[in-house]
């Protein structure tokens, strides 16, 4: 084990221990010891069917936190750094979200060079990479202090960066009405702000902000990307309209066959417990996707105290889940495998995908280098699939 591997092993064990300390799942000391010796956290015991005859078929928490982090090696940064991932996805432009800029030290740095947003036709709004025309102001609609407006007018012609980051985000929201601000690193739905322009101010992750408060919030963000809000299609919106409902698809690159394959796929569905996001660990649902047909299973919801709850219909909307079919699934599956093949230097990816229509169009909003597996393995152990097991063995996870 080299120094880098040792460092990541120690960090992984620390993360594992911290997660166990935060667990609200109650287990006897004897049961916890049994779980720990086999690499599992108490929280997994509430989700998986673990006993002496089954535990070896599951990817354990130790294997996920410590060993799976090594699979992509130095190229894991291509996924963990969201701006770098945005660049990696450039050959697949039709399936990547727009990233308008980055907030850093109170400065707005333009990123994308595409005409952006539904209002682009009315005011030629676009950011040019490597320095270019700044965003045109939306005249007559931007409120704020006179100094903000003066600075905004002065900096609209700036060739590179803009010091008043809050002004640029406010302008963008005037044009787009919705934005996503996300930290350039990290995952799991943490440090993601869903921003909406309202009649009397702004809404951020469901909380109302006056304009002064919103500007203060944005001004204090560091290394956050300003991204488009991707509208989900009718299927996802019907399941639960209050959250973006994403597909999580895990691909693995089979070196022997020279091709990627889908190891598992689920449809994550938000609930009143998880809103404004659809994360399983925060109370969202996970419905398994049949890889051949795109048909959904019942939705699993993690236990608060007790066992996993299974829902054939959405607990809030009553919309059927079990037996529903992801629209355009075959097109989504084949196109995502093409993208995974184009990124074969990153052999292990958890793709987060929003389906945007009924014909299989989709946008990749994020990718994960060592994706969480509870929302996957709640439907059954991954290692029961021989091809998946061989992949993990080849990369030293098993």
pLDDT for position 126: 43
- Higher model confidence: residue 11 or residue 249? 249
Decide if 377 contacts 300 (C-beta within 8 A).
no
pLDDT for position 17: 79
* pLDDT > 70? residue 394: yes
Alpha carbon distance 182, 190 (integer Å)? 8
**What predicted TM-score, i.e. pTM, was given to this entire model?**
0.86
Q: What's the pLDDT tens digit per position in 370-390?
A: 999 999 999 999 999 999 999
Q: How would DSSP label each residue in 68-123?
A: GGGTTGGGGHHHHSHHHHHHHTGGGGGGB--EEEEEETTEEEE---SB-STTHHHH
pLDDT for position 190: 67
Alpha carbon distance 382, 388 (integer Å)? 7
Alpha carbon distance 376, 369 (integer Å)? 15
Alpha carbon distance 118, 175 (integer Å)? 8
* pLDDT > 60? residue 153: no
pLDDT for position 379: 98
Find, among 90, 86, 67, the residue nearest to 78 by Cα: 86
């Amino acid at each position: 084990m080299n120094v880098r591997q040792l460092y990541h092993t120690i960090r992984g064990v620390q993360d594992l221990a911290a997660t166990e300390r935060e667990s609200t799942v109650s287990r006897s000391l004897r049961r916890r010891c049994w779980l720990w010796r086999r690499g599992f956290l108490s929280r997994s015991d509430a989700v998986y069917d673990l006993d002496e005859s089954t535990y070896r078929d599951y990817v354990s928490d130790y294997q996920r936190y410590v060993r799976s982090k090594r699979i992509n090696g130095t190229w894991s940064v291509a996924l963990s750094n969201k701006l770098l991932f945005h660049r990696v996805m450039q050959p697949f432009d039709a399936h990547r979200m727009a990233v308008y800029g980055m907030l850093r030290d109170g400065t707005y740095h333009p990123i994308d060079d595409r005409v952006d947003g539904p209002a682009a036709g009315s005011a030629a709004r676009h950011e040019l990479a490597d320095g270019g025309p700044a965003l045109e102001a939306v005249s007559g609609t931007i409120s704020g202090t006179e100094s903000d407006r003066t600075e905004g007018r002065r900096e609209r012609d700036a060739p590179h960066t803009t010091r008043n980051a809050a002004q640029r985000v406010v302008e963008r929201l005037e044009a787009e009405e919705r934005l996503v601000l996300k930290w350039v690193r990290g995952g799991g739905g943490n440090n993601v702000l869903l921003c909406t322009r309202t009649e009397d101010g702004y809404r951020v992750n469901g909380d109302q902000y006056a304009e002064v408060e919103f500007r203060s919030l944005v001004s204090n963000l560091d290394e956050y990307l300003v991204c488009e809000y991707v509208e989900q299609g009718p299927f996802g919106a019907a399941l639960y309209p209050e959250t973006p409902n994403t597909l999580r698809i895990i691909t693995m690159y089979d070196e022997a066959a020279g091709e990627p394959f889908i190891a598992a796929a689920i449809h994550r569905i938000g609930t009143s417990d998880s809103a404004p996001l659809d994360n399983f660990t925060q109370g969202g649902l996970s419905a398994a996707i049949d890889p051949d047909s795109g048909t959904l299973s019942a939705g699993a919801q993690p236990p608060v105290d007790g066992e996993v709850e299974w829902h054939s219909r959405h607990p809030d909307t009553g919309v059927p889940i079990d037996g529903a079919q992801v629209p355009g699934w075959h097109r989504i599956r084949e196109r995502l495998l093409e993208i995974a093949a184009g990124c074969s230097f990153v052999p292990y990816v958890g793709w987060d995908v929003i389906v945007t229509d009924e014909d299989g169009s989709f946008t990749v909003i994020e990718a994960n280098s060592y994706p969480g597996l509870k929302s996957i393995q709640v439907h059954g152990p991954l290692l029961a699939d021989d091809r998946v097991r061989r992949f993990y063995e080849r990369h030293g996870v098993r």
